[in-house]
Structure 1
Amino acid sequence: MSYLSDDLDIEEKYQLKRTPQEVSGVLTGILKAKVPIKIYFPSRNISYKTFIIGVDLDNQTFALDELSPIDGNPLIKQGESFSVYTFYEGVKVTFDNVVLEQIKQDEAGIPYYNFKLPSKLWYLQRRKAFRVRLPSHPAVTAALKLTEDSPAVTTQVIDISATGCQVAVASQQLQENLPEVGQVAESFSMPLHNQHELECSVQIRQIHKDEATGDLFLGLMFLHVTGLQQRYVELYVNQLQRSALVK
């Protein structure tokens, strides 16, 4: 799921990554996050989606899967230049002038595309949009009360930003009281760092059901947060971000 806004904070600045180590580090982050990237052909004003499937710092190359829709693949094979654009965990990444280096095949014989690492890429860490994943062991849980008359249910917090979070909840906990997009939940509470706690109402912005498990994943936006609680949330997100960078 994506919870990213197109509104940029005017105080935020792009960082220009130039060294192979910096560039490969960013691309490896996108690879591990398994988020799609947008391929844009400026000469044709058309875009496609694909995934980064490999990054090789030693050879200074990276690999892309075939494009979707498939009519974009001939453009790559013809050597047309394109730009790359993606978001992951609140980071906006762009680079351009990408041209096919080599077509290869994986062990199953499926073709993929190899490219030289870009000589530079633009990297924007969007402070308000940054979403950091929470550890699953031990899981961080939160209590969600959808309506005044319904009991609170226990949810697992998957990720969090300064303005919202994503939680997972077993659908059987909700019984017939299923949430709807746009609904404002009565109350939400979760632990933060240093024994602080966030208590607020939330609006349900997105809902996704895992068909295999039946679990619901809810994208929540915090509402009516006090200034002090907002500060605690931002400190918590920053702490998690630093921990993630150390690993």
Structure 2
Amino acid sequence: MLKNAPTQDSSSKEDYTQQHETVTSSARISMVLRPLMEKHAIITATLPDCNQFFTTALLSIDIQDGTMTIDGLHPQEGHALLLKAGKLTLHTTYEGVEVNFSVSIKQADSENGMAFYITEFPQSIRYLQRRSAFRVPVSAAKEIKVDIETPSKKRFTGNLSDISAGGMCVRFNKKKELALSEEKEETQCCIHLPDKRKIRCAFKVCHSNYLEASGSLHIGGCFSNLDKIQRRTIERFVIELQRLARKSLAR
């Protein structure tokens, strides 16, 4: 049996600040879990009052029926322990996303000698996205202006270099903008999207990189205290950029 949980790679220094989120929407939970099912991701399982770790996989999701199906536990001695406990906690990391949730077992069955379990659909999941893993670059030919204002009312204007659901990197062409890289307090930013939409939100500077060759300064950081509308607007914009990138590669 595994005596220690699988180790996770440490985040690079350029990772944006990470933020846990509790997701309760069934639709959003399904969106998070489906890639795990489709790619047969290995999931770590723990049981109440048990210090051993087991592995499983997500086989199916049925939102309408309110159930999921997971593979039998490995090593197999976890089977009897799970039937006795009646519930388990599942944890996995896949493509930069950490997911953690607990479910109760509704039915245990087998097919061709292989055990599987029908569980309740999770009421909520704990979700942590490693922001750097989902950064989408913005073409230099497609300038997207970003205004940043500090608490002392100093304003800086640059161009979006890359963006994720949780943070962004802004490119400045003037060395004098180095003052922004030393900003410790939360700033306010405005991202000017191509269709004249604007995303206004709080932004926390996390790191900076001055490139001598181009004379440009790149400042990266994380969005802060996003409300639902702001988060959805950013997520949709990131998806738009991903689609454009795929179309460009397909040509």
TM-score (norm 1): 0.49
| Greater Rg by CA | 2
